[in-house]
Structure 1
Amino acid sequence: MKLIITKYLEGCATEEEQAKLLTWLRQKENRIAFNSQKLDWKKSLDNQQFPEGSEKSWSTIQDQLLQKSYSGWQSSRKISYFFRYAAIFFFVVSLASAVYIVSNKLQSTPEYFTQVIADNGQISKVELPDGSMVWLNSGSKISYNNLFAANNRNITLIGEAYFEVTKNEDIPLIVTSNEIKVKVIGTKFNVAAYPESEIISVVLESGKVELLSTKEANFQCHLKPGERATFNKLKRNLEVNEVNTVKYTSWKDGMINIFDQTMEELVERLETRYNQKFDYAAELKDYHFTFTIKNELLEETIDLMEKIAPIKTVQKGEIIEFELDEKRMRAVDIN
């Protein structure tokens, strides 16, 4: 494989050899070995072989070609999911993303984007080109371009995702959700930013993250492990509190921990989990629940709620409505 890598770096590898190389690069340890050999190859170059400044340009082009090829086979990889496959879409933006000069010739590379989408009611898991892992909650999606891990690690998120980020001090990973940016080097954290929610939430399990704003230059906040930041999009305020992070991140393992949450908060989480619309009587709005869901069917979860609280459910078209069970309430008062 060393010979094929050298031929690739020199630009004389055949299509068959390039295909063999890309298959080999699917393993993370092989990508590390490739980068190591590439560095050795660069050191061995005679600077006189290139016009001034062209060596850097040639190296950049090689990186981009490899990244483009990597994105190609990455799109065909089987992605592991907890429940079912997520929909993955690739699309091309017809804008040149970079310009390189080699031997006085102008070349441009089109910018490709990869989208990973978790279907409603499903949880999806994907490995990014840099080895970072992402879990997507129901109805969520991320997108990144074909230069990811080469000269940027920028991700756009809509919905909720949990990240385990591979450390790279030279290229920080930046997750943009609405107007909040989460900048990290290497860490584990959760971001919840559903468009219909007033709140953008960031929970840090380990490492450190920096919160920035796409609208306010002086907006900046650093989180410590065990802290949760909540930004209210309407009130324009940010709050940071210490929390039990498992409460906000266990969904990636198919588990939802409901701890002293109101009916209003519970319904929001159930709608995300089961892709089902709920409604509830006004008198139940502030009723509190505590229980744990792990891969239970919707019917089983509703049955559990009815056992621990004086409520009953009524199906009204496509909506499930929770109502106060007055008969059970009277029985409790008598006892």
Structure 2
Amino acid sequence: MDKRIEELYQRYLSGELTPSELDDLKRQVPFVSDEELWNLMCEDFSSSSESARMTYESQQKVLRNIHEEIRKDKWHSRARRLLRIASMLILIISLAAGSYLWYESFTPTAPVYTYVSVKAGNKSTITLPDGTRVSLNGNSQLRYNVVPSKHREVVLMKGEAYFDVTKDPSCPFRVKVNDMQIEVLGTQFNVRYHKGVIETALFTGAVRLSSSAFAKDYRLYPGKKSIYQLASHHVTICDNDGSTDARWKDGYLAFNSQPLGEVLKEVENWYGVTIQIRNHHLPKDKLTGAFYHETLESVLHSLSMQYGFKYHINHDHVTIE
């Protein structure tokens, strides 16, 4: 078969055929045998890995196009045979697609995830396949399935992560945390998942928060923060806390009006130690402040001076009396 016909046929299927090229195709079709036309059409569809995925709408569009051209220009018997061939081919594709979808419905195709885990006392920064950078705080775990320009999903299983997302308007970036989804195109934000609360602090760009538990979706803008209480499904939108939000990635162990018990939990996570509190009469007042690249000894000394307790460090175990 003439290569020119094959080229014109491919352009016709892709919708790129010009009027003059269509006339050229009409002139040449009568001189091609039915068998050659059939082989051309079958080879085109069978050689594509997407053929079985052709939607019903796409199938009907191809068929309507052929019908319309025949109606307008009244092709001869050769064209009518081509129509019959096309109709048969559409039927074959429909059956193939049906079989494929039926097979897919009974064949699990679970996405392949890469897992990342950071122990308490450590921090890590990873670069995803699409160029997105993710910084992970201590005692954090996530998994991701990222295929550039096709699929970008991260699941934060626990802990805290800062995302610097590579912009791709054609492929949204999604972060799932429990039953909430954060969707962005390209932005910087921090997510903290701790004790049944999900905090999302936005620094640049915009994000959309959604969940089956929400009455509506929420949209965040730079400088704003959402606090989602999982137990009550309550969402609060407020301003970012500049004294604490995401400061961990710059080396700050920061607190804003937190009870000493919570502060000590943060110290455990930050330094990768276990703290045993034997003194059950510690003050209940709250701490605001920050430590920058301080040693464990230095932090405990400062806290003991303020709260009046004694402590002992034995390797990765701390006792407070």
Greater C-alpha Rg: 2
Bigger fraction of residues in strand: 1
Does the Cα contact within 8 Å between 1:156 and 1:176 map onto a contact in 2? yes
Structure 1 residue ranges (4+ consecutive) displaced by more than 4 angstroms after TM superposition? 52-56, 105-111, 279-283, 314-319
1:148 match: 147
Alignment CA distance shift 1:317-1:257 (3 Å): closer
Structure 1 window deviating more from structure 2 (162-171 vs 238-247): it is 238-247
What SS class does the counterpart of residue 269 from structure 1 fall into?
Answer: helix
2:292 match: 294
CA distance in 2, matches of 1:150, 1:246: 36
Runs of at least 5 residues in structure 1 that lack an aligned partner in the other structure: 1-41, 43-47, 61-100, 324-335
2:138 match: 138
CA distance in 1, matches of 2:198, 2:305: 33
- Give the superposition deviation at 1:175: 0.6
- Give the superposition deviation at 1:317: 11
TM-score (norm 2): 0.62
2:189 match: 189
Given residue 166 of structure 2, which amino acid in structure 1 is its aligned partner? Answer: T
- The superposition leaves residues 75-126 of structure 1 with CA deviations (integer Å, 9 ceiling, x where unpaired) of xxxxxxxxxxxxxxxxxxxxxxxxxx9xxx9999985321122122100000
What SS class does the counterpart of residue 238 from structure 2 fall into?
Answer: strand
1:65 match: none
1:77 match: none
Alignment CA distance shift 1:317-1:292 (3 Å): closer
* Count of aligned positions: 233
Alignment CA distance shift 1:226-1:279 (3 Å): farther
Does the Cα contact within 8 Å between 2:282 and 2:307 map onto a contact in 1? no
Alignment CA distance shift 1:300-1:156 (3 Å): same
Alignment CA distance shift 1:246-1:115 (3 Å): farther
Structure 1 window deviating more from structure 2 (290-299 vs 130-139): it is 290-299
Given residue 170 of structure 2, which amino acid in structure 1 is its aligned partner? Answer: D
What SS class does the counterpart of residue 113 from structure 2 fall into?
Answer: strand
1:268 match: 265
Given residue 151 of structure 1, which amino acid in structure 2 is its aligned partner? Answer: K
Given residue 250 of structure 1, which amino acid in structure 2 is its aligned partner? Answer: R
Matching of residue 247 in structure 1 with residue 240 in structure 2: no
2:33 match: none
Given residue 258 of structure 2, which amino acid in structure 1 is its aligned partner? Answer: Q
Bigger fraction of residues in helix: 2
CA distance in 1, matches of 2:248, 2:213: 32
1:97 match: none
- The superposition leaves residues 22-61 of structure 1 with CA deviations (integer Å, 9 ceiling, x where unpaired) of xxxxxxxxxxxxxxxxxxxx9xxxxx89715966839x9x
Structure 1 window deviating more from structure 2 (179-188 vs 235-244): it is 235-244
What SS class does the counterpart of residue 284 from structure 1 fall into?
Answer: coil
- The superposition leaves residues 303-334 of structure 1 with CA deviations (integer Å, 9 ceiling, x where unpaired) of 122234433325699763545xxxxxxxxxxx
Alignment CA distance shift 1:173-1:245 (3 Å): farther
CA distance in 1, matches of 2:201, 2:268: 21
Given residue 242 of structure 1, which amino acid in structure 2 is its aligned partner? Answer: D
CA distance in 1, matches of 2:115, 2:312: 38
Structure 1 window deviating more from structure 2 (160-169 vs 247-256): it is 247-256
- The superposition leaves residues 123-158 of structure 1 with CA deviations (integer Å, 9 ceiling, x where unpaired) of 00000111110001112122123x522421111112
Matching of residue 114 in structure 1 with residue 114 in structure 2: yes
TM-score (norm 1): 0.59
- Give the superposition deviation at 1:261: 2.7
From 230, 233, 236, give the equivalent of 1:236: 233
CA distance in 2, matches of 1:271, 1:219: 37
CA distance in 2, matches of 1:265, 1:134: 26
What SS class does the counterpart of residue 112 from structure 1 fall into?
Answer: coil
What SS class does the counterpart of residue 147 from structure 2 fall into?
Answer: coil
Does the Cα contact within 8 Å between 2:214 and 2:233 map onto a contact in 1? no
2:254 match: 257
- Give the superposition deviation at 1:291: 3.0
Matching of residue 51 in structure 1 with residue 44 in structure 2: yes
CA distance in 2, matches of 1:181, 1:201: 12
1:328 match: none
